[in-house]
């Protein structure tokens, strides 16, 4: 299965990938729901 990349990097510097109903950082293990992820993206701007 191909990983769907989000284009958004985690605090640790690794790009989040879409994981079922949310996103996941492969390196540090941070998981977010899509709702949390949308807020995170807005907070980066």
Segment 12-35, tens digit of pLDDT: 999 999 999 999 999 999 999 999
Closest CA to 40 of 16, 19, 21, 20: 16
Predicted pLDDT at 23: 98
pLDDT recorded at residue 3:
80
Whose structure tokens read 């807005």?
Answer: 42
- Determine the pLDDT at residue 1: 58
Helices (H), 1-45: 34-44
Is the pTM here over 0.75, yes or no? Answer: yes
């Amino acid at each position: 299965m191909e990983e769907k990349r989000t284009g958004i990097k985690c605090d640790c510097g690794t790009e989040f990938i879409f994981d079922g109903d949310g996103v996941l950082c492969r390196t540090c293990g941070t998981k977010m729901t899509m709702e949390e992820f949308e807020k995170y993206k807005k907070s980066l701007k």
